[in-house]
Amino acid sequence: MTQLPLTLVTGAGRGIGAAIAMRLARAGAPVICAARSLEACTEVADAIVADGGHAYPAHLDVTDPDNIRAGLVDALGDARAHGPILWLVNNAGIAETAPFLRHGRASGVDIYDKHMRVNFHGARRMIEEFAPAMLEAKRGRIVNIASSAGLQGYPYAAAYVASKHALVGYSRSAARELAKSGVTLNLVCPHYVESPMTDGTVTRIVEKTAKTPEETRAFLAAQNPGGTLISPEEVAEVVWRFASGQENGVIAELLGGKGRVPDAETVRFYEA
């Protein structure tokens, strides 16, 4: 098997990030599983190793530039044997809901700032940290997990939507600059996915409405163009396609509609 490069997946402690880490490791990539919860990342890395892969858990807070360097880069340890990080999956993200006029100033936390710090600046900072080595090597893969919220609006999610639009806009420009560099940058934009993040959305809707959890889940599934929630494995499959292929500046919009493996009915690909 061809040696795949050292790969970093942010937000790999659960949900979509864990599925991505497992998929890329199964293909043969040594994977650093990073998030704030080292314990969760260790569980995912242990599962990969038990499955015969190479994985390294790491503590990472993408909002903290010092942590990216001191906490992650300087703590790579055994993972360094695989060479520089040449594949980067920016998956870490947060999603909270609030009416668009409520910033949360009363609580001292501006919800817009909070989302931008993780969902946009976090990904942007990771790219600034790792893209130079990729450019020097003239090969690298960057996959940004944005969202359908980077392509359209959702009520009560203005902060999330704004941060994902920022990530999509930044990525569109960066991909054009990267053309012919050997480094590709692509975007994955899923509609609602079965994950702990969506579980949180269900809980919040149940608290605020008369809907049951089952009704709420069915309501969210019905928002997806394909009519079902997307599996984390399907997202991971699209990431593998971008990591292993040559495409650059492409948006993969995951629509839902069954399937653990993406096909023409469940994923739409277009130029970013």
Ligand X SMILES: NC(=O)c1ccc[n+]([C@@H]2O[C@H](COP(=O)([O-])OP(=O)(O)OC[C@H]3O[C@@H](n4cnc5c(N)ncnc54)[C@H](OP(=O)(O)O)[C@@H]3O)[C@@H](O)[C@H]2O)c1
Q: Specify the residue, 47 or 135, whose C-beta has the smaller distance to ligand X.
A: 47
The span from the CA of 145 to the CA of 84, in Å, is: 22
Exactly one of 6, 8, 10, 241 binds ligand X (CB under 6 A); which one? 10
E strand or H helix at 142:
strand 140-145
Instruction: Please state the closest distance from residue 255 (CB atom) to ligand X, in A.
Output: 12
Instruction: Pick the catalytic residue from 112, 154, 156, 160.
Output: 160
Is there binding between residue 193 and ligand X (CB under 6 A)? yes
Q: Which of 4, 61, 143, 185 binds ligand X (CB under 6 A)?
A: 61
For residue 213, the minimal CB distance to ligand X (Å) is: 15
Other Cβ atoms within 10 Å of 45 Cβ, number:
26
- Residue among 184, 186, 195, 248 that touches ligand X (CB under 6 A): 195
- CB 249, CB 220: distance < 8 Å: no
* Residues binding ligand X: number (CB under 6 A): 31
Residue type, 85: I
Does residue number 159 form part of the binding site for ligand X (CB under 6 A)?
no
Pair 21, 48: CB distance under 8 Å: yes
Does 35 participate in binding ligand X (rule CB under 6 A)?
yes
The DSSP 8-state label assigned to residue 210 in this structure reads S
Do the bridges between strand 250-254 and strand 267-271 make them parallel or antiparallel, or are there none, so unpaired?
A: antiparallel
Binds ligand X (CB under 6 A): choice among 5, 13, 140, 256? 13
Neighbours of 103 (CB within 10 A): 17
Cβ neighbours of residue 43 closer than 8 Å, sequence gap 6 or more? 13
Q: Which of residues 87-146 bind ligand X (CB under 6 A)?
A: 91-95, 118, 122, 145
Let me know if 56 is a catalytic residue.
no
Between residues 198 and 248, which has the closer beta carbon with respect to ligand X? 198
Q: How far is the CB of 195 from ligand X (least distance, A)?
A: 3
Closer to ligand X by Cβ: residue 195 or 266: 195
Q: Which of 27, 47, 63, 112 binds ligand X (CB under 6 A)?
A: 63
Q: Rounded to whole angstroms, what are the CA distances from 62 to 15, 124, 164, 178, 267?
A: 17, 9, 15, 23, 28
Residues 212-271 that bind ligand X (CB under 6 A): none
Order of all β-strands in the sheet with 250-254: 55-59, 31-35, 6-10, 85-90, 140-145, 183-190, 250-254, 267-271
- The residues annotated as belonging to the active site are 160
Which residues contribute to the site for ligand X (CB under 6 A)? Answer: 10-11, 13-17, 35-37, 40, 60-63, 91-95, 118, 122, 145, 147, 190, 192-193, 195-198
